[in-house]
Amino acid sequence: MLKFRKIHHYFKQIFKTLFAIFAGIFIFLLSCYLGLYLFYCYHSTKNSNARFNQITHITQAIYPSLALEQPILKYSYQGIDESYYIAVYRITSLEINAKPILKDQFYDCIKPTIKTKWMSPHLTFHYVQPPEYAKDHQDYEVHDSFIVHGSNRYVKEVAEICGTHQTYEADPEIESKFLEFRKREQKGFPEQIFFDLMHMRYNSKAHLLFIKMHDN
């Protein structure tokens, strides 16, 4: 009986030791995971803010007459070899030389969201209904989907406007103006210029200005 108690006590001590070891490993791994996740959230937010702030700074530098406030919506999507960042501003009028374009030429307008996926406190992935022609594509499930940076408040409004208002205006010289700005300011700009192409679309009925940048 005494021998049995000693064996029982021995195994009990082994179990406690193993439990303490595994608990320590679990806490260590959990701490590493949380640390890496917070690091990811911090840098993704920092990089996102830097790019969208730069969109505003560059647009105002090229068009000083535009009084831009913070975008009401910021979203992005991934292309084959590059990323695209779109900032949507609410403005009263486009006081520049702009010409009408067809809605079909504006392929960056968002579609209604069918479901969302939380990525981080700053990022939300929005799934949309993929088009029929993309059924054979590898990215069919996420085709035309987009990531919202920051608030989702105006996603539904912008999607509805994209689906109903047909006319847009754009500065036909915006690409050359941006490239000239980029070449001129590459050394004098206070920060690295992330983008290599710039596009503009203005919806005069809804007073929404879409600025799209290509990030390679």
Quickly count: other Cβ atoms within 10 Å of residue 122's Cβ. 17
Bridge partners (DSSP) listed for residue 116: 126
Q: What is the pLDDT of residues 26-65, one digit of tens each?
A: 888 888 888 887 777 777 788 888 899 999 999 988 888 8
- Give the chain's domain count: 1
3-state SS of 61-80 is HHCCCCCCCCCCEEEEEECC
- d(CA 35, CA 28) in angstroms, rounded, equals 10
User: What's the confidence (pLDDT) of residue 157?
Assistant: 92
Amino acid sitting at position 11: F
Element (H, E) at 212: strand 208-215
Q: Is residue 2 part of a domain?
A: no
Give the global pTM: 0.81
Chain centre to alpha carbon of residue 49: 10
Q: Is residue 184 part of a domain?
A: yes
User: What's the confidence (pLDDT) of residue 2?
Assistant: 53
Contact yes or no for 96/163 (Cβ under 8 A): no
Residues of the chain predicted below pLDDT 50: none
User: What's the confidence (pLDDT) of residue 203?
Assistant: 85
Q: Is residue 110 part of a domain?
A: yes
Contact yes or no for 37/115 (Cβ under 8 A): no
Torsion of CA 144, 145, 150, 156, to 10 degrees: 80
Q: Is residue 24 part of a domain?
A: no
Q: Is residue 9 part of a domain?
A: no
Domain range for 50 is 38-215
SS3 (DSSP) at 167:
coil
> Among candidates 123, 43, 42, which has minimal Cα distance to 77?
123
For the chain, give the number of residues.
Answer: 216
Q: Is residue 100 part of a domain?
A: yes
Token pair in block for residue 102: 């067809």
- d(CA 59, CA 52) in angstroms, rounded, equals 11
Q: Is residue 1 part of a domain?
A: no
- d(CA 193, CA 45) in angstroms, rounded, equals 18
Q: Is residue 12 part of a domain?
A: no
